[in-house]
């Protein structure tokens, strides 16, 4: 059974401190994809940074997406709907939250369709751990984004080469 994983589509990564025009352009494409997924009964899972003071990632990127802040809130256009799952994370890899894997296994999820930002950071690191845990990973290339086209392409290539992830378009993913 497959699920769509939406990575870090929060204010700080779209319009805030670490946001970019590329992330902003992703929102309507991702919204349409999520609507199609839900209409087909595919589970949607949000994983988002929700940092606390002292989290080690803050040494790299500075304070961002702090738990409970406006920056850590999922963008209005993509607010989770009834039946969606929401998980917080404090590092690039969403599986650092052990509840995520438990919940996926409980629901019989064995395939993850990766979406969100950034292709070459949090999407890539979450895809790595998903692959290590035995999930079939597909990266929806037109529903992921990075600060630059080069970063995006490199992230896609790395996931395909290193983890055997399938790189698919949104019109073929479901």
For residue 153, the model assigns a pLDDT of 98
Q: Which of 6, 13, 36, 23 is nearest to 170 (CA)?
A: 36
Q: 57 versus 103: which is more confidently predicted? A: 103
The pLDDT of residue 6 is 98
**Domain-by-domain residue ranges, the chain?**
2-173
Model confidence band, residue 110 (pLDDT cutoffs 50, 70, 90): very high
Flag whether the pTM goes above 0.95. Answer: yes
The SS3 of residue 65 is: coil
Can you tell me the mean pLDDT for 46-72? 94
Mean pLDDT of 25-50: 98
User: 2-173: which CATH architecture?
Assistant: 3-Layer(aba) Sandwich (3.40)
Cα(119)–Cα(167) distance, integer angstroms: 12
Q: At 34, is the pLDDT very low, low, confident or very high (cuts 50, 70, 90)?
A: very high
Where does the pLDDT of residue 79 fall: very low under 50, low under 70, confident under 90, or very high at 90 and above?
Answer: very high
């Amino acid at each position: 059974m497959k699920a769509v994983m939406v990575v870090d589509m929060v204010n700080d990564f779209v319009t805030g401190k670490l946001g970019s025009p590329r992330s902003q352009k992703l929102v309507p494409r991702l919204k349409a994809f999520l609507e199609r997924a839900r209409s087909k009964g595919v589970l949607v899972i949000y994983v988002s940074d929700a940092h606390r003071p002292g989290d080690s990632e803050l040494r790299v990127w500075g304070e961002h997406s702090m738990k409970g802040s406006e920056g850590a809130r999922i963008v209005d256009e993509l607010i989770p709907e009834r039946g969606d799952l929401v998980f917080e994370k404090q590092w690039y890899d969403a599986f650092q939250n052990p509840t995520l894997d438990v919940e996926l296994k409980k629901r019989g999820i064995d395939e993850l369709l990766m979406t969100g930002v950034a292709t070459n950071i949090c999407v890539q690191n979450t895809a790595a751990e998903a692959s290590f845990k035995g999930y079939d990973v597909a990266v929806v290339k037109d529903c992921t984004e990075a600060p630059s086209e080069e970063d995006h392409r490199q992230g896609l290539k790395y996931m395909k080469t290193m983890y055997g992830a399938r790189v698919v378009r949104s019109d073929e993913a479901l």
